[in-house]
Structure 1
């Protein structure tokens, strides 16, 4: 058992004995951290009765064969609601994982505040007994014939299907790297996990990496630590920066530092300027942080501790008199960076079965992801197919908060389609990314297709706050287990 560091938590508890530095009293903080208060804060119905009344309006007595593929956050949320909405339906779920992981908790594992036991439960607790659970994986999709085939060769037909297969990690897409290298030679990755086996080794490995980084910093030599973010979409776009800031704060507590390098394929820290500006301020409170924008990790020399990045840069051409601007073009070059420690976020993608099927997008940055309408969550070409969660090729960050908002849309529109009615439920693109800027503070980045969408408008959403840290660390996990996965909101 890894010994967890808890010193960081004590000041957080102390804050609850008086006024916080943002003017919220202990009474208010405790009330808002309670299930009822927290539910109100996050836009959840004030009582389960209200939620149940809302769900009761989405019901159908029709018989149908419903197939759900995947039993992560999105799949289980959709299952809970469909099971309630369609009492006469024959529901099947295909998923190999008997263990369900609260994946946001892996970052708190990396910070030394959770253990694996804090973030896992049996999936059987969330799958009703009258649901046919096939503990396998889909090997191929055949939407033209309304069927799928599992790895074991079993054909499963459906009238309606919800695809919730999530995303897969591809460490091997980085030349010279395999999953077995994570945890060795100064390499960590908080993402390292196996949902089928119910393991989340990346959390513990990264906590050990935090400690090793501190030990190196204490030796008198300033270590160089690189944090990467790939060119692909990833699960929780803010996670690479969370590891950067938490590890930097872990050193700062003992007046230690390192040469930190954030190497991201993005052109800035966050796509919304308000959050980008706030994160720039956050970086200034730490020892040297150098941002290497538009740098994508493509190879690594593990033995010599050298990471190779493909840098995309702009070339200024001739001046255009008519447009009154310079012509520009993009080029790439390879850049080698030595390191002592490196935290790697792997490239990610949809499952190969989906990529090879007719269900995926065939163009642009969404290629291979599930082709659904970004508002109705219905497939754009197969009307009896819906999608939820990370697998969907829509223009948002991939988070559990998004899946929570998609679930009632998916179920409402699937029931409407089954009834032959118009699809009226609309997903507005809501997502939430709790960016941990230090032990004890979080920027709760909430936004949708239109822009920033804070749940509490009177609080500056770009301001790092203890309140959001306390909510995320103490309240969000039980809400996930006992409300979200039960389909009660």
Structure 2
């Protein structure tokens, strides 16, 4: 028997579930979500887990508790997509047909692109905050590191949770000084040519790094890890030379790219990303297909806050497409990047496609504030679980 649905949503992350909830609230029936996971995670909290200021168990819920009632869930990996035939092929050999498709597959973590990393991850002081099973090891290593270099990396590629490395380096610094472990030297190495794309917030990050005596270097890409000897190899992207740096702790943000299943379909652009109109979120060639979140080529920082702004735009436009009406809702690139500068203090960078501050609170969000830390740690997660995933807010 061929399975066919009005709307098929690929991915049960923030974008997929929020979209499903809003469509259901709008009266759309016959919706299927496809994802291989059995748990749903609030990943923006993971840097705080790695720094000891949040509990790992509080960041996940069983998938069955967040999938809206009345919406089907297929726990399978997507094998490939045929947009012309309107088919989604699954790992179990079956396929599903759709009238409308929403692609919310997130981003791919390319740990394998760094030589030696996969063999040593989770030991020898080599950590990451991008995998749930390794979060405890990050905090354990931080507590055990008493001297030497603590290096936090950020790749040149786009990443999800665009300010995760900054959250980590600042809270690591706070931990090191609180515990009087001043023999450790903190270093941020980023493959980017700037600390942040918006000048107001770039200057603020630079000021905090300098005030805290945290060393930072631009255009430095991690290319190899020798865990046994605790040495990291970086490539200077300007001089095109490689060099080694010893470490006691290495927190790796891996390179990231579009999911292979998107790259290998006619949905992708030249770089592999889901090719959507940046304002309507409709695919540029397949008009019954929409994309949301990290898998798309939207030119904005990939954050959960961006997805929150995209969901209502996508749903309104998808409903318009279903009813043969013009797509009038436009996304302006709005996103927000909360940065904890220490435990209990944060600022929130908020901006759109034009890379100009677009702050939504009646305070200067570029200035560190205990209120903004509580917004990051408490208010945003509460809104995420109880409003956004339910198609509200």
Whether TM exceeds 0.5 here: the answer is yes
What residue is the counterpart of 2:180 in the other structure?
Answer: 255
What residue is the counterpart of 1:172 in the other structure?
Answer: 112
1:361-440 equivalent positions in 2, closer than 5 A: 361-362=269-270, 367-440=271-344
**Deviation string for 1:285-323 (max 9, x for gaps)?**
32x42212101111112222221112122xxxxxxxxxx
Q: How many angstroms apart in 2 are the aligned matches of 1:166 and 1:486? A: 19
Alignment partner of 1:347 out of 255, 266, 279: 255
Q: How many angstroms apart in 2 are the aligned matches of 1:111 and 1:185? A: 18
Question: Which structure's CA Rg is the greater one?
Answer: 1
1:186-335 equivalent positions in 2, closer than 5 A: 186-192=125-131, 200-213=132-145, 216-217=146-147, 223-257=148-182, 258-286=184-212, 288-313=213-238, 332-335=240-243
Displacement of 1:64 after TM fit? 6.8
Query: After TM superposition, where is structure 1 displaced by more than 6 Å over at least 4 residues in a row?
Result: none
Number of equivalent positions: 388
What residue is the counterpart of 1:11 in the other structure?
Answer: none
Displacement of 1:335 after TM fit? 2.2
Q: Does 1:441 align with 2:345?
A: yes
**Deviation string for 1:403-443 (max 9, x for gaps)?**
11100011100000010000001111011110111111111
RMSD of aligned residue pairs (Cα, Å): 1.5
What residue is the counterpart of 1:51 in the other structure?
Answer: none
What residue is the counterpart of 2:32 in the other structure?
Answer: 92
Displacement of 1:83 after TM fit? 1.1
Instruction: Verify the 8 A CA contact 2:35 2:74 in the aligned structure 1.
Output: yes
Q: How many angstroms apart in 2 are the aligned matches of 1:233 and 1:299? A: 19
**Deviation string for 1:164-209 (max 9, x for gaps)?**
000121211101110x5222111111112xxxxxxx1232121112
Q: How many angstroms apart in 2 are the aligned matches of 1:116 and 1:292? A: 30
Q: In structure 2, the residue corresponding to 1:478 is in which secondary structure?
A: helix
Q: In structure 2, the residue corresponding to 1:227 is in which secondary structure?
A: strand
Q: In structure 1, the residue corresponding to 2:242 is in which secondary structure?
A: strand
Q: In structure 1, the residue corresponding to 2:208 is in which secondary structure?
A: helix
Instruction: State TM-score, norm by structure 2.
Output: 0.95
Q: How many angstroms apart in 2 are the aligned matches of 1:271 and 1:209? A: 31
Instruction: State TM-score, norm by structure 1.
Output: 0.77
Q: How many angstroms apart in 2 are the aligned matches of 1:247 and 1:442? A: 14
Q: Does 1:184 align with 2:123?
A: yes
Displacement of 1:92 after TM fit? 1.1
Q: In structure 1, the residue corresponding to 2:232 is in which secondary structure?
A: strand
**Deviation string for 1:416-473 (max 9, x for gaps)?**
00100000011110111101111111110111112211012x4222111111101222
Instruction: Verify the 8 A CA contact 1:190 1:205 in the aligned structure 2.
Output: no
Instruction: Verify the 8 A CA contact 1:94 1:135 in the aligned structure 2.
Output: yes
Unaligned runs of 5+ in 1: 1-62, 193-199, 218-222, 314-330
Q: How many angstroms apart in 1 are the aligned matches of 2:52 and 2:121? A: 18
Q: How many angstroms apart in 2 are the aligned matches of 1:109 and 1:393? A: 29
Displacement of 1:255 after TM fit? 3.4
Q: How many angstroms apart in 2 are the aligned matches of 1:298 and 1:420? A: 50
Q: Does 1:463 align with 2:367?
A: yes
**Deviation string for 1:237-263 (max 9, x for gaps)?**
111111111011001113332222111
Instruction: Verify the 8 A CA contact 1:106 1:202 in the aligned structure 2.
Output: no
Unaligned runs of 5+ in 2: none
Alignment partner of 2:7 out of 66, 84, 95: 66
Displacement of 1:273 after TM fit? 1.3
Q: In structure 1, the residue corresponding to 2:315 is in which secondary structure?
A: helix
Q: How many angstroms apart in 2 are the aligned matches of 1:241 and 1:472? A: 14
